[in-house]
Structure 1
Amino acid sequence: LTIDAGIITGSPSDYTYLWSTSENTFSIQVTTGGDYAVAVTDANGCTSNRTVTVIISETATIDSIDVIHAGTSSNGTATANVSGLGDYEYRVSLEEPFQDSPIFDDLTPGFYTLYVRDKNGCGTVQQEFSVIGYPRYFTPNNDNYHDYWQLIGTSFTFEPGAQIFIFDRYGKLLKQIAADGVGWDGTYNGNPMPSSDYWFTATLMDGTTFSSHFTLKR
């Protein structure tokens, strides 16, 4: 980085300079952060001092995002792990302001984008992630609303290999569904299942397992 003595009148050649680095030029090159002082003297011997503070900063690198999925709870948590020489702030929604903490609590199941911005203007990086959860009910009546039951936050990108099994109240396996598909339509061997509570177990790709129940409404 080039910093200079910051004179506001005349030409740089009208003055002499002495930096705290012992250099005697109008501008100097620096490679580390810190305070750099310079004494500027005019032809009459009058001297003024200036201190330039250099802050080293750079765009962040997102190393990982640790997610505690909602599972059987209502919401999940995400923690951003970043590296770099900057002073960073974070958000997971364009509608929300940036925050200093890399931890986000009470995230409803679904898809998110983490934004990490350097406070000194060196740029913003982003990365998508998901919080896994499940709907508490579905209504397979072909009205295009809640017609299928599926984990929330799964897709071809996130948890495509998760294993999901659906059972009736007696423990009979009714369906195994793919996490990157539309889900269960409420039938068994082509026959509509009655309104009732049903159970499921889900094993995510990192080995996380949870189970609970949901309601089929007709």
Structure 2
Amino acid sequence: NVVVDIETGVNLNATVVPVYECTGDTPDNYVNITLEDDSIIGDVLYAIDSVDPADLQLNADFRNTAPGNHYITIAHSNGCLQTVDFVIEDFEPLTLALEQNNMNEITAIVEGGREGYTYYFDGYDNGDNNIFYVTRTDTYEVRVVDENGCSTVANIFMEFIDIEVPNFFTPDGDGQNDLWIPRNIEQYPEILIKIFDRYGRVVSEQAVDSEGWDGTYQDNELPTGDYWYVVKLNGDRDEREFVGHFTLYR
């Protein structure tokens, strides 16, 4: 009878995870190799897409691998080999175009990169919202960063069109100046407009979807005279408030 001790075989199992990082608009890549048994790290060599001993190396630093299917070979000093498959994703360069689709509004159109974009308008972190409202006439810088950290920048000149408050109206039914409401308020969805008579009574409240004040209060026509207004924009980045008066002519 002969008693023989069989040692446990070496564990070459590992996970290979591609990591993407950017220095421009297209990501670089490298692989992160994690051994299940890290005690053997000093006894193994590595190769990419090869089992040829001549390609084995001590350093597992494999960078900028072409997109597609690949494998890492892990070779132990006892002669055992293990291969682990992984995939490098293909990314198109990150591109950014700026459009003015509505008044005082910048829309960022992004293609390429990895979705999960973050937008920076004029230095302001706008999160994942690709629409930004301008508050001045100027050249605006827009930067977008994708999930890999790639970024690109574009600029656009925008002319700011401010709200206009009419100083009179004539609700006589002739189709001209029959209603009173500030113009260019579409960009302020939370705007609040209050109109007061000479006694401080609120005779009308208007919102962004209102047609305007017709000069009546509780279905009664109010007389010719001056009326006061308070306009609160309540914009995300524009909280201006306007106070003044206008004239109703009959």
Shorter-chain TM-score bucket reads 0.3 to 0.5
Rg comparison, structure with higher value: 2
TM-score normalised to structure 1 length: 0.45
TM-score calculated relative to the size of structure 2: 0.40
